[in-house]
């Protein structure tokens, strides 16, 4: 599993609010509607990239 957005700050990554029902893959917790998240894309070898949302706080912990 490769998260491209963590290796280079691509232009399609930005801070936003996630749609309801999204789960943060860093902490595996559901994202609340008013939590700020970092949008990124998860590339898959045999399918289209998936848009993922991660808590801003989770990204700080990981770095
Ligand atoms: Zn999280």
Range of the domain at 9: 2-62
Q: Which residues surround ligand 1, an ion (CB under 5 A)?
A: 24, 26-27, 55, 58
Q: Residue range 40-63: average pLDDT?
A: 87
For the chain, what is the largest distance between any 2 Cα atoms, rounded to a whole number of angstroms?
A: 33
pLDDT (0 to 100) of residue 60: 83
Structure tokens given for 52: 């993922």
CB distance 47 to 18 below 8 Å? no
Which of 39-43, 45-49, 59-63 is the least confident region? 59-63
**What's 50's domain CATH number?**
3.30.1740.10
Looking at residues 40-59, what average pLDDT do you find?
91
Task: Quote the pLDDT of residue 14.
Answer: 84
Number of domain units in the chain: 1
Q: What pLDDT is recorded for position 13?
A: 75
| Residue 46: how many other CB atoms lie within 10 Å | 4
CA 44 to ligand 1 center in whole angstroms:
21
Q: How far is the CA of 19 from the centre of ligand 1 (A)?
A: 14
How far from chain centre, in Å, is Cα 49?
A: 12
Q: Is the pLDDT of residue 33 over 60?
A: yes
């Amino acid at each position: 599993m490769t998260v491209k957005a963590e290796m280079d700050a691509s232009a399609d990554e930005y801070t936003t609010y996630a749609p309801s029902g999204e789960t943060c893959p860093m902490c595996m917790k559901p994202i609340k509607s008013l939590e700020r998240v970092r949008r990124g894309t998860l590339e898959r070898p045999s399918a289209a990239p998936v848009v993922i949302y991660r808590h801003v706080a989770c990204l700080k912990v990981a770095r």
